[in-house]
Amino acid sequence: MSSDYEKVADKVGLVPNVRRKDNVYQAAAVAGTTVIAAIVGLIYGGWPVGALAGALAGLVVSGFLSGLVLMIIGLGRK
């Protein structure tokens, strides 16, 4: 059963999400993408600068995109 806060968060879209399941999925997606980006940065840029730059880029991009996806999914919930 959804709480009133979760219903408001789904409709507004810019309020922090407190659903454990959504947050676990988002954390896994961000972590996986960050690791992949760090490996790509390591291959193309070397250690440690390339790996750190890749990890930072992966963290920022995947954090933004996963938040956007969760926001869109939340708007579709009733």
Tokens of 32: 């996986």
3-state secondary structure labels for all residues of 16-48? CCCCHHHHHHHHHHHHHHHHHHHHHHHHHHHHH
Q: Crossing angle for the helix pair 4-12 and 51-76, nearest 10 degrees?
A: 110
pTM score: 0.69
Give pLDDT tens digits for 8-17. 666 665 566 6
Domain ranges (residues) in the chain:
1-10+31-78
CA distance 76 to 38: 33
Give pLDDT tens digits for 32-69. 999 999 999 999 999 999 999 999 999 999 988 888 88
